[in-house]
Each structure stands twice: as C-alpha cells, then as structure tokens.
Chain A
C-alpha cells in the first residue's frame, strides 16, 4: 500500500486554496478564481492519470477510458467507485457519485454567514467554487489519456454529485 496522510490534510489544504483564490487573490473576479482552481485540479489530474496508467495498455475507445476514471482512478482518490455512469453515446457522459466525499466533509465557513447576502446562496457559491477542483482533475486525467473535454458539476441532489463530461470532437 502506498503512503497515506490524514484526510484532514487534504481537506484543509483544499478549503484554504479555494478561500485564498476566492477571497484574497481574485476576490472581485470570481471567474478568474474559478479558472485558477480548475487549473490546479487539471495539473493534479494530469499527473495522477499518468502515474496510474503507466503499466496499462492504451485504452481503445472513450468508454474504456471513462470506465477507468469511474473505477480505478476514483478508487485511488476516494476509496470508492463512481456509483452510476450514463452516456448519450454522442460524447456526453454523466458520472454520479452518490456521496461525494469532498462535499460531505465540507464544513461551512463561518465568515461566509456574517455577510449581508443570503447565507444559503453564499454557501452554494463557495461549494460551486470548490467543485472546480475535481472538475479540473477529471479534465486533466482525460486530457492525459488523449481525450480533450469539458467537465462541469451538478449538485442538485446533494450529497450526490454528478460530473458531466463533454468530449470535444
């Protein structure tokens, strides 16, 4: 078994990374903060997928690569697989994790609730910022496998989280 650290390490690091980008570096330009957070995820996904596919034969089609993300890749990161995979067979894939770990452990930032804005929407905003990171990871991982795509997240049925992958043709 590989080396491990406490889960609090990654949770604290991600929370702080998102808050630094959203509240300090790009506090007035959330779209830039989002792009940076996604870029950090992209780098991580790219490197991890390189490592996890080193000793594998090449994937012959998109579905096979996506299945690798759902099973092996997801298990390395979250110790569970994606629960449900759907596709329209036209290059769109929906990967649903019924209990996405990074959301179930995310605690609300108390400073958020002191604002004048509706705390619900602020919390939702913070969560959507946070999700740019796993979206970046998936995009980076697939890009390393030669599959350019766009990835977005849908959290309309929390704690489930769906990642929508649109492969560019």
Chain B
C-alpha cells in the first residue's frame, strides 16, 4: 500500500464539521462553574478538569491519527511539533508553537497565543488557584499515553493569570515500548 502523505492542520480543520465556538466556550465555562459549585475546592476542580481532559484525549487520539495520516514520529521532538501544529489546529482551529527544549530533548513547551476556551472569561478573585484550561493539559497527556508516551503536563504561563500567553510544559517521563496486548499464559 502506498504511504499516504500526512495532512496539514489547516487542511484537516478545513475539512471537518465545525460548530459555533461560542457554544463550545460557554459550555466549557458552564461546566467549570458547575464543578466549582459542586466540588467546592479549587484544587479538586483542577484535578477533575484534568481527568476529563485525559478521558477525552484517550478517545480523541483515534480521530487524530485517522484524519492526519501522521505516521510514527521519529522522536519526541517531532511528536511535540505534530501536537502543536496539527493537533491543536485540527480541533480548536488555532495553531501553537513549540519552544524551550531542554538539552536531552525530553521536555518542551507548547505555547498558545490564542485559545478559544477563554473567550469572554475572567476569573473572580475566589478562583485564583484555578487552572481554568486544565482540560487541555489532560487531553495532551491522555492522547500521548495512547501512543505509549507517559508524560507530565503542567501550565507554566496562563493568560487568565496575567501572563502574555498560554504555555504548557510537556515532560516525557517514560516511553513504553509497544507490546503485544495479550499474554499467553494467563
């Protein structure tokens, strides 16, 4: 079978079904607000948003692989680049950039200057510890885990906290070799 050329984030985004971003943004905002009411602790809300993101990432990776024709990335550098340029673009319609590589190429930052999740959002003083976009870090972590990469994903900069961009630090903890999923004697 002839290899299929990988598609650009722009090309995929142009070809998928779209919805009004307002509906998405306000729905996410309403979920965060409801979680704050129900769970009370900001820390717990951060945790749950991350968990929701993780679950989404685990499922979204299939759509990503199917639509992007991305083949196996040679290293973590290429993986990070693909997430930023293709992943973010094909779902959220915004591109991201990759910077701040460490010396051994296992830790970098994904920087988002535009983020549809935070349109019309302002955090009240009572929510200062909230990582409003924590669902995104969960998505990245969940999706990478499905392609055998254990990562730790944390926010370094957050525009809702007064920074000039959103910066997501992605640290590769362990690359699990792919195994045959069944064991013979069990």
Contacts and interface: CB of A to CB of B under 8 A. Distances in A.
A19 B52 CA distance: 9
Interface in A7-48: 7-10, 12-14, 16-17, 19-20, 24-25, 36, 39-41, 43-44, 47-48
Contacts, number: 100
A166 to B, nearest CB: 23
A144 B19 CA distance: 23
Interface in B155-185: none
Contact of A14 (B27, B29, B91, B119): B27
B91 A8 contact: yes
Max chain B Cβ within 10 angstroms of own Cβ: one of A8, A9, A44, A51 = A9
Main secondary structure of the interface of B (DSSP, over half): helix
A36 B34 contact: yes
A48 to B, nearest CB: 6
Interface of A: 2-10, 12-14, 16-17, 19-20, 24-25, 36, 39-41, 43-44, 47-48, 51, 76-77
Interface of B: 13, 16-24, 26-31, 33-34, 38-39, 48, 51-52, 55-56, 59-60, 63, 90-93, 116, 119, 135
7 contacts: A6-B18, A17-B31, A24-B51, A25-B38, A40-B27, A40-B34, A43-B30
